[in-house]
Structure 1
Amino acid sequence: MKKLLLTCLVALGFASASFAQVKPSQTAKIKTPNILCEDCKKRVTTYLDRIDGVQTVAINTRRGETTVKFVSDRTNIEEIKTAIANSGFDADDIPANEESYKRLPKTCKKFEDGGGHPKPKAPAPAEQ
């Protein structure tokens, strides 16, 4: 009887320990329309890797979207957006930090600022 009770207690201990390891993580999609090349991606990824709690970063340059998976106990979405802005790029409603934007290589700047990014295409006129 004692062995059965001891076995149950050990199993319960392992089960509760495994549940304690689960950390609440979130995934956020952030609009980053200015990230259009590999240098831009590398710069933003470097800034985001410095934040405690960021697990993965995936940047889709065609959609102008950055997907970040992070531990919500350690960081939040606003801190992540601020880090992207501090790297010199717009992040949703937070504009790029001006000083950081000035330090970007010419190839990573917006077209209207003399940069190498392509000029945004005008929407096609609607057919009637």
Structure 2
Amino acid sequence: MKLYISLLFTLFSIAFSFSQNKPGKAVIHTTIYCDHCKACETCGQNFKSKMLKINGVQMYELDEKSMTITVYYNPKKTNLELIKTGITQLGYDADDFKANPLAYENLDSCCKKK
């Protein structure tokens, strides 16, 4: 009986610890006008490297058609406000956060509103 209770307690502790490390996920609406950003050698690679440098961002999925970025992040290292601010520093809007004007001007012409 003690073994059973001990085993049950151990399993509960493991399950609880995994639930505490759950990554955050957010869908952020943006302003990407480029229809080939993922494949573009210039802006696509630049976007990828800079997105992954935002503290706490573990992974992202860019959907140019719906103009969204789904971001997977570590909530212990960052929050949505910091991620959105990081995206604006790349030259793109992030929900209600407007793109940094200087960063927007530095984007390739294919990534700007026509």
TM-score, reference length from structure 1: 0.67
Calculate percent identity across the aligned residue pairs: 30
Matching residue's letter, 1:102: E
Instruction: State the partner residue of 2:86.
Output: 83
Q: CA RMSD in A?
A: 2.4
Which is bigger in relative contact order (C-alpha 8 A, separation at least 6)?
A: 2
Query: What's the counterpart of residue 27 of structure 2?
Result: 29
Aligned length: 108
Kept in 2: contact 1:85–1:91 (CA 8 A):
yes
Q: Tell me the distance in 2 between the aligned counterparts of 1:61 and 1:104.
A: 16
1:48 aligns with 2:80: no
Is 2:77 the counterpart of 1:74? yes
1:25-82, Cα deviation, whole Å (9 max, x unpaired)? 2211111132523244433332221123212100001111110111111111111111
Please, which runs of 5 or more residues in structure 2 have no aligned partner? Answer: none
Q: Quick check: 2:93–2:99 contact (8 Å CA) kept in 1?
A: yes
Larger radius of gyration: 1
**Partner amino acid, structure 1, of 2:24:** Q
Structure 2 letter corresponding to 1:73:
K
SS of residue matched to 1:57:
strand
